[in-house]
């Protein structure tokens, strides 16, 4: 993989933007799973339970920001898993 963004996309942790005529039609995480993605999501979920860590603070910030969209914890797990993938790369 040439970049961390390619790695995150390969793991299906990056959003798939569908754009037509400059308008964003969809911005969802593609479905699909592999063992590394599952492991990163489990690690992100565990990070969410930590009290004092930088990733824990990031996780809680995403939970608060996505709470209004009713996807708080799930969005935070995916975002933290992506951040972990970038760190690993």
pLDDT for res 69: 67
The total number of residues written for the chain in this structure: 89
Q: What is the pLDDT of residues 49-63, one digit of tens each?
A: 887 888 888 888 888
pLDDT for res 73: 81
pTM of the model: 0.78
Q: What is the pLDDT of residues 10-64, one digit of tens each?
A: 888 888 878 888 888 877 777 777 888 889 889 998 988 887 888 888 888 888 8
CA distances from 2 to 10, 82, 85, 88 (A): 11, 16, 14, 14
pLDDT for res 39: 92
pLDDT for res 65: 79
Alpha carbon distance 63, 6 (integer Å): 25
Average pLDDT over residues 65-72: 72
CB 75 within 8 Å of CB 66: yes
List Cβ neighbours of 21 (8 Å cut-off, separation of 6 or more).
none
């Amino acid at each position: 993989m040439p970049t961390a963004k390619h790695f995150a996309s390969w793991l299906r942790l990056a959003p798939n933007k569908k754009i037509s005529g400059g308008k964003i039609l969809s911005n969802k995480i593609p479905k699909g799973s592999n063992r590394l993605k599952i492991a990163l999501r489990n690690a992100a979920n565990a990070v969410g339970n930590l009290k004092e860590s930088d990733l824990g603070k990031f996780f809680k910030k995403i939970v608060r920001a996505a709470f209004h969209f009713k996807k708080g914890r799930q969005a935070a797990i995916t975002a933290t898993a992506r951040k972990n993938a970038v760190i690993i790369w």
